[in-house]
Amino acid sequence: MNWIYEPWPWYVAGPLIGATVPLLLLLGNKKLGISSSLRHMCAAILPANISLFKYDWKKESWNLLFVVGLFIGGYIGGSVLANPNPVAISENTQNYLSSFGIQSNPGLMPNELFNWQTLLSFKGFLLMVVGGFLVGFGTRYARGCTSGHGILGLSALQWPSLVATASFFGGGILFSKFILPYILAL
């Protein structure tokens, strides 16, 4: 029964991710898009008379239920069926990360970086708080994220989604190359 703890290869995960797009459409014309959930929560909690948040978010409650599911799916995949071995990243990446003291421990994230102590440090603040802010701000500015533009938009052959995907990949590549090393060295 060890196989159920093993990670899934890309050729299993990829098609299943892609199949979610038509599945949601067939279930009820729902469009895969996860950054929208952040907008709905803002609209529900603190609309503050801001035009972006003035709409009936309850009509989009399916999206909030979907992210509740994501959380549960993450718990099943990452805790109940957790892979007991470190993520099998390439040796080059391992060497690069270990030059910053980041080891490949079991778990999907490095414990050295993502814990409550580091959250209060400048480094952890940048990684989680500033990083999270940019994800929320940027995806709403772009009206979509990896799911809405990268998977749904590209599946529907929408060229603006290709521009978005190239831009967020480009942003990630540039940031990892030129800025992240200074942050990891803190």
Coil, strand or helix at 157: coil
Instruction: Indicate which single residue of 55, 99, 122, 133 sits in contact with other proteins (rule: CB under 8 A).
Output: 133
What span, in angstroms and rounded, lies between the C-alpha atoms of 54 and 2? Answer: 49
CB of residue 1 to other proteins, shortest distance in Å: 15
Residue 112 in contact with other proteins, rule: CB under 8 A: no
Contact status: 51 vs other proteins (CB under 8 A): yes
Q: Rule CB under 8 A: say whether 28 interacts with other proteins.
A: yes
Binding other proteins (rule: CB under 8 A), the pick from 3, 55, 75, 101 is: 75
Exposure letters 83-120 (e unless 16+ CB within 10 A, then b): beeeeeeeeeebeebeeeebeeeeeeebeebeeeebee
> What end-to-end distance do the CA atoms of the chain give, in Å?
42
Applying CB under 8 A, among 2, 3, 29, 84 the residue interacting with other proteins is 29
Shortest Cβ distance from residue 130 to other proteins (Å)?
7
When asked if residue 181 is in the footprint of other proteins (CB under 8 A), the reply is no
**Whole-number Å distance between alpha carbons of 86 and 13:** 18
15 belongs to the binding site for other proteins (CB under 8 A): yes
Q: Distance (Å, rounded) from C-alpha 131 to C-alpha 9?
A: 28
185 binds other proteins (CB under 8 A): no
Shortest gap between Cβ of 185 and other proteins (angstroms)?
14
